[in-house]
Amino acid sequence: MKYIEFEGVHRALMRETVLPRLSADQTLIRATLSGISSGTERMWLEGSASALRSGRRSYPYRPGYALVGKVAAVGAEFEGLSIDDRVFAMKPHASHAVVTPDDIWIRLPDHVDEEDALAVSLGATAIHAIHRSGITIGDGAAVAGLGVLGMIMLQVLSATMGGPIVALTRTPAKAELALASGATHAFTYDEFRMRQASLPPVQAVFECSGVGTNVLGLLTIPRPQGVIVLAGFYNDPIALDGEALFRRELTLFAVRSAGSHLDDNEYNRWDRRRNVAFASSLLAAGKIKARHLVTHRFPSDRHLDAYDLILDGRNQRMNPLQVCLYWG
């Protein structure tokens, strides 16, 4: 079994270990591909992750959150999977993954493309963000920060909410892709400010870049008593304008990934497992996809090339979106 481990700053190593012996309630997945979370994994490679600074986490760190593969072995007491079933699992980058009934995984329908399945984790995050926002069907929404999360947020909003959706980007090259991902309008920030008065009102802005300094520029976009949802992961302090918050009575919400782990809690009907299940239903219906967001594919033994690309992404005309590792 091979797996990727970050040993320290700029230290992404391919480790190897013996495959574990399965217990009766476990299943072994042989990976086909895994999706790199460019923002999170870049933070860990650069040593800037807030979890490092706070002491909540430390190196070594195993990156990854979206793995697709086939069932290679099934424990005698494991239900729901058979040999050669295709599976999506929220597991780190590795040639194999062991899953239990308590892990988050889904069996992929035969018609679902394996790269499209990479939309499940962030689809669940988008669902959680929409729940946090409190918007209702038909409300206008804006999405700022058009990385993979932002593009999938557009798809989920389009599939579920029925209102106008404005995509905001600093990169004109992303506007066309945003329209293909469900946006009804796509603008650079300067274009939006010139045309905002003629557009439908926006009740919620979903900030998906994870860059704290971007939030200040979003305070004039929601309508009064609107909301801004911080759907990314923020390492740096977030700048705000107290006058704008006061005058417009805005509310800010934070989002923690795909939701809490409080399964079957009567006060939390939409926990992480249920959000993933709903995202999976959107995937099966063809409402969310990731294949068109894949910009780079690498064999797993070239993982260092993949990470060099991500670390250098800010110097490119359009940052890499979904980067995939293929496991032989």
pLDDT score recorded for residue 316: 54
Band of residue 314 on the pLDDT scale cut at 50, 70, 90: low
Helical packing angle, 148-160 and 173-180, nearest 10°: 30
Q: Strand runs (DSSP E) across the chain, as ranges? A: 2-8, 11-16, 27-36, 67-74, 86-89, 96-99, 105-107, 141-144, 165-169, 185-188, 202-207, 222-230, 251-254, 294-299, 322-326
pLDDT > 90 in the chain, percent: 75
Grade residue 244 by pLDDT with cuts at 50, 70 and 90: confident
Q: How far apart are CA 208 and CA 163, in angstroms?
A: 19
Global pTM value: 0.93
Classify domain 121-254 by CATH number. Answer: 3.40.50.720
Domain 2-115+290-326 has CATH 3.20.20.140: no
Q: For all residues of the chain together, what is the average pLDDT?
A: 92
Residue 318 pLDDT exceeds 60: no
Give residue-wise pLDDT tens across range 156-165.
Answer: 999 999 999 9
Provide the H-helix boundaries in the chain. Answer: 38-46, 50-54, 119-133, 148-160, 173-180, 189-195, 242-248, 272-284, 303-311
The pLDDT of residue 257 is 82
| Amino acid identity, position 159 | A
Q: What is the pLDDT of residue 207?
A: 95
Dihedral-angle region of residue 225 (phi above 0 means left; psi in -120 to 50 means alpha; beta otherwise): left
Task: Report pLDDT digits (tens) over 95-149.
Answer: 999 999 999 999 999 999 999 999 999 999 999 999 999 999 999 999 999 999 9
Angle at 42 between CA 56 and CA 240, to 5 degrees: 70
pLDDT of residue 138: 96
| pLDDT, tens digit, 9 for 90 and up, residues 279-301 | 999 999 999 999 999 999 999 99
* Segments making up each domain of the chain, as ranges: 2-115+290-326, 121-254
